Amino acid sequence: MALPPRIALATRNAHKIRELTRICADWPVMLVTAENHDPAAFPDVDETGETYLDNAILKAAAVARSLGMPALSDDSGIEVDALGGGPGPRSAPYAAPDASDERNLAELIRAVRGIPAAGLTARYRCVAVFAEPGAKEVAHAEGICEGTLVTKPRGTDGFGYDPIFFYPPFGRTLAEAADRKSTVSHRGRAFRALRVFLLQGSILKPNS
């Protein structure tokens, strides 16, 4: 499958636009974003799905329909083993439905306070989706980044939970390693896998 000449990024999040633009820099396409196109054309989508895949499909389908072109989206979250894998798909509204990154970060630190460092294993998980307007099938791929949590934020270059997500091979948090983050991150891995699937023509049903 040849990649289409233009693909929309289904997000208004400036941090995510910057990160995805970096991750997809070698894709032979023009990325249409809320920063180089009319932002009003990128609808707000209620992430009501129960899984990462559900939410990613909702976002990609809505933007593909609105702009009349294929769209890329992702849904991701942090999974803390000591919290039973939570907050998971509820990572974005963890502290409250419209919580800021700072508030979510503070809530997660509060939730793991008192847990020994050895018990703070965690991972970032991302599901990336490609959807065409009106299509009943999508391409999707998953990426995982394993790490541990620290309880004092470190670094200022990341977003979300990056300041407390420690990546052992780097010896630092992802917020301290923005220049290398995309090479190992859950999002980078998911979108690189998605590109392979697309070039192979692997368009899948959402429940496949």
User: How far is the C-alpha of 94 from the C-alpha of 61, rounded, in Å?
Assistant: 24
User: How far is the C-alpha of 111 from the C-alpha of 105, rounded, in Å?
Assistant: 10
CB 165 within 8 A of CB 157: no
User: How far is the C-alpha of 122 from the C-alpha of 141, rounded, in Å?
Assistant: 20
**Cis link prior to 87 (omega < 30° from 0)?**
yes
Please pick, among 38, 46, 54, 75, the residue that the annotation labels catalytic: 75
User: How far is the C-alpha of 47 from the C-alpha of 59, rounded, in Å?
Assistant: 8
Instruction: Look up residue 152 and give its DSSP letter.
Output: S
Is there a catalytic annotation at residue 75?
A: yes
Question: Looking at the annotation, which residues are catalytic?
Answer: 75
